[in-house]
Structure 1
Amino acid sequence: MLKSVVACVMTAVLLSPGAFAADDGAKKAAAKLLDVMNMEVMMENSIEQMMTIQLQQNPNLAPFRDVMMRYFKKQMSYDTLKGEFVNIYADAFTEKELNEIIAFYQTETGQKAIQKMPELMSKGAQLGATRVQANIQELQQMIKAEAERLKTEGGPTPQ
């Protein structure tokens, strides 16, 4: 009897119009946010930026630039990822929160934040890479010490 009541309640909750409306509302708001953020252009710019960095780090890839760009545009294009981005944002924020974010991004300051975001992210990534590179010997020493400790204790060590 209790199982039947629980099953009925669960079915009623899952099939109620409100159960899907909020999700649809959040997804619509997430799609609007992506448009306001100009996500398609941001992604295209990110792919170009990523390719430039890859070619700077490995000039031997230069002859394959066109092939790699075709691949990234196919696999990482806005059109192929938009639905997944919508789900990510709709899962992370409520419809109300998404609308508040949209309102901010529609302001002059919000538009500036959108415009500056790729540059700031790139500078942050560059800072992180520079910091790791500057201190790589410390990491190597720590790994070596841990490998020795694991070896002494009979634990797993990398091959």
Structure 2
Amino acid sequence: MVPIGGMMRYFILFTVTVAVFAKTPSKLELSKNMLDVMNKNGYVDLIIKNVVADQISQNPLLSPNRKVVEKFASKYLSFKALKPELTKIYANELSSEEIKAFTDFCKTSAGQKILLKLPRLINISSYIAQKRVLKYYPQLINSVMKK
């Protein structure tokens, strides 16, 4: 066996390391793929569109400027505009295994249905929470005043 010199040893180690990591997708790549699967049918843009519509309906000052607000949102809040930042957020917050598992789930019919229903479910949940806050707000005020 021929002994391998110092530089050659590092070169081989580097080459093997690069080859191993080249075959393993990074968390950013996994996250990007997950977002693409989530937005397969335009769900992310639909969520954003619904949020903008809710904001316009809740704020009478925005209503006369609906078209301007919608144009602004489509430019700065679209899936395409948000994707680079969302990719980083998901990659930072989730493990590779979690990203892969969620991506696989999103590919199922149940996953697609949940993605479709999620904006409505979030809106309903938010409405219920707002109603409860209003209902029990006097109790909160009384508790604060007693201190």
TM range (shorter): 0.7 to 0.9
Alignment map for 1:104-123 (pairs within 5 Å) = 104-123=105-124
8 A Cα contact 2:37 2:107, kept in partner: yes
Q: Which residue of 1 aligns with 2:27?
A: 26
Distance 1:22 1:126 in 2: 46
Structure 1 segment 82-121 matched on structure 2, within 5 A: 82-121=83-122
Q: Residue 33 of structure 1: CA displacement?
A: 0.7
Could you say what secondary structure the match of 1:124 adopts?
helix
Aligned to 1:51: 52
Deviation track 1:14-70 (CA, whole Å, cap 9, x = no partner) reads xx759x769952111111111111178233223332233233323342111112222
Counting matched residue pairs gives 132
Q: TM-score, normalised by structure 2?
A: 0.73
**Aligned amino acid, residue 100 of structure 1:** A
Query: Tell me, which stretches of 5 or more residues in structure 1 are unaligned?
Result: 1-15, 147-159
Alpha-carbon distance between aligned partners in 1 of 2:139 and 2:24, rounded to the nearest angstrom: 48
Give CA deviations for 1:106-145 in whole Å, capped at 9, x if unaligned.
Answer: 1122222212211211111111111111122222333434
Residue 69 (structure 2) pairs with residue 77 (structure 1): no
Q: Which residue of 2 aligns with 1:152?
A: none
Give me the TM-score of the superposition, normalised by structure 1: 0.68
Whole-angstrom distance in 2 between the partners of 1:130 and 1:23 = 48
Query: Structure 2, unaligned stretches of length 5 or more?
Result: 1-16
Q: Which has the higher helix share?
A: 1
In the TM superposition, residue 84 of structure 1 has moved relative to its aligned partner by 1.0
Q: Distance in 2 between matches of 1:96 and 1:121?
A: 26
Change (3 A) 1:90 1:116: same
CA 1:40 to 1:103, structure 2 compared with 1: closer, same or farther past 3 Å? closer
Counterpart position of 2:132: 131
Partner of 1:42: 43
Amino acid at match of 1:92: E
Which range moved further: 43-52 or 86-95?
43-52
Aligned-residue CA RMSD (Å): 2.9
Take 2:82 and 2:69, find their aligned partners in 1: how far apart are those partners? 18
